[in-house]
Amino acid sequence: MVPILKHGKFLIASIVSALTDQDLIQLRDELANKIGQVRAHGVIIDVTAVDVLDSFATRTLRDIARTVKLRGAKIVLVGIQPDVAFAMVQLGLSLDEVDTALDLEEGFSHLRRGEERSRHAG
């Protein structure tokens, strides 16, 4: 199970161990529900502790990103390790639709910039 913490207007899900396919689906469902419950503006998924992202995990993270966006929140994936990034590129796995950032701090900055742009555009 992945803990989901609230930090201001944002939710943070930190993946701290290898997840089963069912764990990833449960994360998707919990985030979709929690966004509405707490009226979250953004979600950060922290994968710093993840040492492998297979094709199912990559596809499910893309699905989570789409779900979060459809629920009206922004999303950013943080902490992809260099070896994971290299392996994903070699395997042709892509997170093109998902914004990424180096770490949690950069993730918060990314979401806050997105809020500022939305405020100025509206």
What's 58's domain CATH number?
3.30.750.24
Residue type, 106: E
Whole-structure pTM value: 0.92
d(CA 47, CA 32): 18
For residues 53 and 107, give the distance between their C-alpha atoms in angstroms, rounded to a whole number.
Answer: 19
Q: Three-state DSSP class for 8?
A: coil
Let me know if 30 is exposed, middle or buried by CB neighbors in 10 A (0-12, 13-18, 19+): middle
Confidence at 60, pLDDT banded by 50, 70, 90: very high
Query: Model confidence at 96, in pLDDT bands (50, 70, 90)?
Result: confident
107 CB-contact burial (10 Å; exposed 0-12 / middle 13-18 / buried 19+): buried
Domain boundaries, position 84: 4-121
Q: How many folded domains does the chain comprise?
A: 1
Computed over every residue of the chain, the mean pLDDT equals 92
Render 84-99 in DSSP notation, one character per residue: HHHHHHHHT---TTSE
What per-residue confidence (pLDDT) applies to 122? 60
6-55: per-residue pLDDT in tens?
999 999 999 988 888 899 999 999 999 999 999 999 999 999 999 988 99
Tell me the C-alpha to C-alpha distance, in Å, between residue 28 and each of 2, 32, 43, 82: 10, 6, 11, 25
Question: Closest Cα to residue 57, out of 24, 85, 101, 94?
Answer: 24
